[in-house]
Chain A
Amino acid sequence: MSAQGRLLIVDDELSVRDSLGKWFREEGYDIGIAESASEALTRMAESHWDLALLDIKMHGTDGIELQRRLHEIDPDLVVIMMTGYASVDTAVTALKNGAYDYVSKPLDPDEIAHIVKKALAHRETEKENLRLRETVAEITRPQELVGQSPAMKKVFEAVQTVGPTDATVLITGESGTGKELVVQAIHAASVRRFHPLVAIHCGALTETLLESELFGHEKGSFTGALYRKKGKFELAEGGTVFLDEIGDISLKTQTDLLRVLQEREITRVGGNQVIKVDFRCVAATNKDLEKLIEEGKFRPDLYYRLNVFHIELPALRERREDIPLLAHHFMRKFAQSMNKRISRISPAAMEQLVRQPWQGNVRELENAVERAMVVAQEPELKEQDFFFKAPPLPSSGGRSLEEIERAHILQVLEQCGENQSRAAEVLGIDRVTLYHKLKRYGWSRSAVENR
């Protein structure tokens, strides 16, 4: 491709084609010439063009119809119409059909050079804009929410339902259940996704600092306020404000927050100018807000304002079936970031993982896998690579009677040196029953005894 661009000139007058082609060639463009609509369509099929200069009045198919057909082939093609008659009607039709501009013959050299250059720059900007949007979408893509359990499927459905709306969302769940990931998913599914997602951890700040963070402050409004500062609601600028640990804010801040949510207006600390703000609010807490209301520590009106749509995230222990999936997900993630070729988790290690209490939920599981990945030898994560703080649940926890029976039979058999008669005696069942059970378990004698 030439530095300037590829231009297709379509006109049924030879002198126009020749003179314009030569003129644009001198300007540094790659030029294609067509004397009719059908030839133009052939040129389009043969190669790519950035811009087409079309004569409106041509024998056979005119420029307006040709423009429509060219755009069917390449919607990104920039079309500039030329006519010998300055007709407003045809100009309007051309522009309505997607032409970039319209010029009257003879063309003013300064004008046509400028229009073509501007049109191609505009096209480049649009392409760049698209590329940047895709990049932003890629960068802002939320980390994957992992889970196949019914509880998590309900969460995914809720995110899909509420994401595209502008409703305020309250997310509750224990610490480490992935509330921030849900916020990211809601933001990514919303029309506000190309605007910022601004998070603020309300519990980490004192009342005055939180006010300043949320609403901003004017220069000199308090000691240390050396500059005017925009608050989070202003910084969101059409995006999403995530208020984390909402249950930890003071009653005074709750009142201010309620006003912002109702009026969509803020006043900076130390200021008196009312500023309109456009944002979507998502709040999260691990506290029981209804209980806080009963204790007089949380405003019920703010609660109702926040609780327009409620998503409850299940604790990990309530969805143990997701643990293998999550463990493998984190294993793959850390294998990539640590550049380690670990591709599986041993059955014994997985059994331990499934049985852990996971008080810290998914975050704790993630940390456990990360730690194990550091010490593990390729290609497998083994039981000894994990360090479990809490003792595992009793072996019967969450298991069926059949599983317990199987484990017990195999344990006794091992203790009896794989002697089935002795094991049947210990278990109090007859030898044939034991044989059938072992067959069902797919058990076979160890290699040592078979020798």
Chain B
Amino acid sequence: MKKHSIIKLLTSTRLTVICLVLLIIVVIWGTVYQVENGLYQAQQKFFYSWFVFLFGFFPIPGTVLIFWVLFLNVFSSILFRIPFKFSNLGNILIHVGIMIFFIGSFFTYYYSQESVISLKEEQEKNFSVSSLDWELAIWHDQKEKKVVYAVDTNRLASDDRIKFDQLDMEIQVHQYYKNCIAYVKTKNMDKVDIINSSGIQQLEPKTEKREHSKNMAGMVFSILPFDKNSKQVLLYGADKNSTPILRGGKNYYFSLRKKRFILPFSLRLIDFKRTFHPGSNIVRSYDSKVEVRIKELVREVIISMNKPLRYKNFTLYQSSYFIADDGTEYTFLAVVKNFGKLFPYISSIIIFMGLCIHFLLRLIKKKKNLRE
């Protein structure tokens, strides 16, 4: 049977070679890029993108595109190229394993979520915070449970409009900076009508930092509709105070903060401990003793290097710590939520088995041929 030309192309081992060569180029380029621009920028530009632009305009495939093509290549090879017979068992297993690996990668790429929970001793929290993304949060005076409405500002740009249907509110963004510095009102500054509870009057944009988590976002917006009394509201990432606005007899509070994720459990830091190898400055272990509260169930857990806390799809591992001058200890636990975490394990086992069977069968075949 003559194969269709598209199938022929998709099952071609030459296509595999081209994809793998491109992948090597992108991986090496992205790795070197990290030196100057940090891991986050490299991930965005090379590893989580469809295209990488050479000299800023010439597109070459990014990791996502290469992975998709390789996925189709492997899938078609299993269906159309590799004959289903015992001598090909290893080969089939390798390619099935790779397909499962790709499926897992897509799950991780699209659905995984990374954040950090910082706790000082005796503090309890039920949310973690993104170290990269910001959100605009709004809430109003309520007697009972506080309900917060938040929008991700990751893709926000100046002149965008955001609508909060539940609050019957729309805002017009005038300025949005991923990284900026803020100035409070000084004598030299022109008088402007800006509302900010900490007295910040102006934002100055800055180039984004190599370590993306150190960027400080800022925005200026107005609440629609405009009228002659309308004032602009300024929010700044480092501002600890929320800015209240009186509207329709209610106080609405606005805050630009790191994106928060509500966890299905709460954590309380009991103690943080750092142990050194005797007579040295080499740290032997970092341990956070925490109390985990899942509804009514309470238990104590020690989270340390190489020993994370796992709960459903969440993994919490010891990421960092800080000891203040007054001796107060803070621990930083990274929180990773990943639905596809089992895929790499399953695929790796299948690929390894496949590799062993494939080369073993080849060896046996060779020996047999020699004997004949």
Are A and B interaction partners?
no
Q: Which residues of A does B touch, CB under 8 Å?
A: none
